[in-house]
Chains A and B, each alone.
Chain A
Amino acid sequence: MFSLLEKLLYASKGLNSKRAMLLEKAHEGALKQFLSVPFPDKNTAISDIDILAVDFETTGLNAKTDKLLSVGYVGVKSGLIKLGESEHQIIQSHGELNKDNVVIHQITDGEKANGDELKVVVDKLLLAMAGKVMLVHYANIERSFLQQACIELYGMAPVWPIIDTLVLAKTRLDRSDTPYDPHHLRLANLRASYDLPAHHQHNALNDALATGELFLAQMQHYDQGLKTPLKEFLL
């Protein structure tokens, strides 16, 4: 897709320039629409940023071999999570689910068969994410699965500005210079440390909401609170 020169150039660019370069190559469709909206300026106060808290349920950790099962997301802005801007979609796929996994994510074969096609789901997600910052807990999963899906669907993997609540927590803990158990960085444990209520885990939307709530708490504990610039949070 890119020439070697373009690849070198691409690698040296910031997110917004990468987005612009990708936009030139993108075909008509949801991905192009997503790429056509500039990413927010990283010096903008976090309160003015449109954020989308996202969570995926998958059959495993490997984006190449495992499948995306469901997608959940909810909008966050000005320190408020807007439940009206939430979505939960199950992806249609055939082939039986691993029994052990069903216990965790509680998506049955029946639901899966009635779900939407991967393209419908990813199109919708990309449109919802246009101009926004993606908020996830442990970005590797969501980023790699979404990149993989985009390569399969549109022939190219875009970029996203991402806030990772796990990384925010980790940075904070590392800075405090006290040893901690890595388990402490799990979503449920971090929520508990902020006195947030227990949540219904392993449902993509509830996990996305749980991530959003954790981020509200984390933001409020920055010295500048909601006035803190976006760059302080970005991956």
Chain B
Amino acid sequence: MSTELADIHDFIKAIEPFDQLPKDSIANIVRNISICYVRQGEQLPPAGISEPMLYFLRKGALAYYGANDELLGKYGEGDICTVFCSPEEDFAVKVIPEEDTLLCAINCAELKSVISDFPFVHNFFLQSGAQRLKQQVSKINEEALLTSTLMNTSIDDFYHGPAVTIDKRESIKTAATKMTELNFSCLVVVDEHDGLAGIVTDKDLRRRCIAQGLNFSRPVSDIMTENVELIDHNFSAYDALIKMTSQHIHHLPVSKNGALVGMLTVTDLMNQEGLNAVNLSSTIGKAKSVEELAKISKLLPKLQIRMAKLGSTANHVGKTISALTTAFTNKLIHMAKEQYGHEPVPFAWLAAGSQARQEQFAHSDQDNALIISNEMRPEDDEWFKQLATFVTDGLNACGFIYCPGDVMATNAKWRQPQRVWQQYFDSWVNTPEPMALMHSSVFFDLHCVYGEVDLLAQVQANMLQQTQRNTLFIAHLSTNALKLRPPLGFFRDFVLISNGKHKKTLDLKHNGIAPIVDLARIYALSEGITEVNTIERLKQAAGTASLSTKSAANLIDAFEFMGMLRAEHQAGQLQAGIEPDNYLSPKEISRLEREHLKDAFKVIKTMQANRQTTFG
């Protein structure tokens, strides 16, 4: 054969991972290639091909469809179609040219023998892009498993059971005696029907009884903590920790199939792992002044570094930092109330954006808002304005800088009674304008940090009912979401920022993480999902009309992988004393990570293309 098939040679050489093969091997591949031409709408493999082949797309476009004819992805020039090479791949996948397509085909077995001496290239083909990503993510999770047992251990391994109970009519003295005998710091208080009434802890004895000079013969129900939440035994220890940290509690009753089975204490968790997060959160609770809080906040970047170094997933880091931000906010609200007195009417302090989604990192800016009860009188606003000013100033002092877009409770627009919020959402959803939507998208990710949860829940429930029905709104939201594109070029190469301070870098946040956050929000709003955390949204949307189970898994993998890259990138910057950012230079990461990052971008690209076809 001639070595002069320059066109084909150059074409193959430009496609990853073949760029790493020596000239001879490329020539060897070219020698084994058959060129075929498939007309639009005809199914692959083309007529004349009976053996499993790998296809290089030279000209045209291919679309992949799943078992239910749902579009799985689209491939363009310079892409590789491996579907027919991996027998474990879904045979239900249909590959159909979207236009007349010119393909270079190579017998899979022949390709394998050519590349067998090059493990990297060889491994590249063992899996599809999505599978490759999946493997990388599970590897990361394994590291997390080794370093952070908490995440991966269920409450089953920690809790003490059966729970020691006491009838609520028993005296405080009886409770204290029982606790001393058993050396327990906590008892579950039950009612006459053995139902959960509350819990009583050492702290309750001290604060609500002894310190108050309460008669020990009073029933224990007088000092118990009511409205205690149960946690199901299937949850991870980490979930329990988050619950404890955000609510400032040290005891959680554990349930199995709804029935009380035992008790979990923070000590149980802390014994398992030196928990800086818990320590930090209790230190926050004890702080006496904003200055003290600001001092504690300096530990946040350190915690983030430590977590990233330990191999925590970005999800884990985000949840921890978000929980601590919640603790700071709670503490600041308490401090404000000490200064300005109690609220005139009920309210809910809301976190918006990344804090609400529990995806916050240290040095994020603050996004917050206030929903106030409709009973609010005009003069009440003064109190809320003071509260907002105090808390946002405090958060700023703690490193959560003022929101550049003024999405803060200090902005009168975002400090309104419930009915006004209801109007806001009505107009965003029912008469959507792309620009207005872009600015308000932060309000579709809301979480109540403090106060009356119902104030938000009612607004959200109304909103979700409307978004599910309103395709125009979803279409506008999609248009906005598609403005952020993954930086992938023609031949699967990165498109780097070409000038300015961040020259030759990739913007991980805007081109990678934000598009997935946007997609997850769209799926959630289309399907009426209340959850705001991106991974949770994707999990819940999986298998609905908006998102296939497989695509959801791919997006979650891509999200976790990019989150991990960002966490590591920022940990490096924090350690070097540089202000952390989201601009990653491809040189910073290994070749393998670069490939995985491309795969992750590719998943986004595919899902965006899907969106586009839904609302073209």
Contacts and interface: CB of A to CB of B under 8 A. Distances in A.
A83 B1 contact: yes
Contacts of B4: 72, 88, 203, 205-206
Interface string A181-207: 000000000000011110110010110
Given A47-B48, A86-B2, A220-B39, A80 B105 contact: yes
B102 interface: yes
Nearest to B50: A78
B105 to A, nearest CB: 7
B32 A87 contact: no
A36 to B, nearest CB: 26
Contacts of A217: 37, 100, 102
Given A83-B33, A220-B37, A197 B102 contact: yes
A188 to B, nearest CB: 12
A83 B12 CA distance: 13
B533 to A, nearest CB: 45
A20 interface: no
B30 interface: yes
A156 interface: no
B310 interface: no
B34 A216 contact: no
A214 to B, nearest CB: 9
Contacts of A203: 4, 6
Contacts of B34: 80-83
Given A206-B6, A216-B36, A79 B60 contact: no
Nearest to A72: B2
B211 interface: no
A224 B111 CA distance: 33
A209 interface: yes
A206 B35 contact: no
A225 B36 CA distance: 13
A212 B2 contact: no
A83 B8 contact: yes
A205 B36 CA distance: 17
B18 to A, nearest CB: 15
Q: Which of B2, B48, B60 has the most CB of A within 10 A?
A: B2
B6 A213 contact: no
A113 B303 CA distance: 73
A226 interface: yes
Contacts of B30: 83
A84 interface: yes
B100 A80 contact: no
Contacts of A82: 34
B5 A205 contact: yes
Contacts of A196: 59, 102
Contacts of A47: 47-48
A72 B32 CA distance: 18
Nearest to B58: A197
Contacts, number: 90
A47 B36 CA distance: 12
B204 interface: no
A87 B2 contact: yes
B37 A213 contact: yes
A96 to B, nearest CB: 23
A79 B6 contact: no
A195 B35 contact: no
Nearest to B106: A83
Interface in A79-129: 79-88
Given A80-B34, A80-B36, A84-B1, A199 B47 contact: no
A79 B2 contact: no
A87 B1 contact: yes
Nearest to B37: A216
B49 interface: yes
A79 B31 contact: no
Interface residues of A, number: 32
B7 interface: yes
B1 A78 contact: no
Contacts of A88: 2, 4
Given A47-B47, A83-B31, A88-B2, A209 B7 contact: yes
B195 interface: no
A56 B429 CA distance: 67
Contacts of A85: 1
B26 to A, nearest CB: 12
B43 to A, nearest CB: 14
Contacts of B156: none
B100 A195 contact: yes
A209 B38 CA distance: 17
A216 B38 CA distance: 9
Interface string B33-71: 111111100000011110000000011100000000000
A194 B5 CA distance: 21
Contacts of B99: 195
Contacts of B32: 83-84
A84 B58 CA distance: 18
A199 B554 CA distance: 37
A139 to B, nearest CB: 22
Nearest to B46: A79
Nearest to A81: B35
A81 B5 CA distance: 13
A84 B33 CA distance: 7
Interface in B105-122: 105
Nearest to B105: A80
B465 to A, nearest CB: 48
Contacts of B58: 197
Contact of A86 (B5, B7, B102): B5
A194 B99 CA distance: 11
Contact of B35 (A83, A194, A205): A83
Q: Which of B5, B37, B38, B60 has the most CB of A within 10 A?
A: B37
B304 to A, nearest CB: 49
Given A83-B5, A206-B6, A220 B35 contact: no
Interface string B14-36: 00000000000000001111111
Given A80-B36, A217-B100, A226 B48 contact: yes
A206 B46 CA distance: 23
Contacts of A205: 2, 4-5
Nearest to A210: B7
Interface string A113-157: 000000000000000000000000000000000000000000000
Contacts of B7: 197, 199-200, 206, 209
Q: Which 10 A-B pairs have the closest CB atoms?
A: A78-B48, A88-B2, A216-B37, A81-B35, A80-B34, A79-B48, A83-B33, A88-B4, A84-B31, A200-B6
15 contacts: A79-B48, A80-B48, A81-B34, A83-B5, A84-B32, A88-B4, A200-B6, A200-B7, A206-B6, A213-B102, A217-B37, A220-B37, A220-B38, A220-B39, A221-B39
Given A84-B31, A216-B37, A217-B37, 18 more contacts: A47-B48, A79-B36, A79-B48, A80-B36, A80-B49, A81-B34, A81-B36, A83-B32, A86-B2, A86-B5, A195-B60, A196-B59, A196-B102, A205-B2, A213-B102, A216-B102, A220-B100, A225-B47
Interface of B: 1-2, 4-8, 30-39, 46-49, 58-60, 99-100, 102, 105
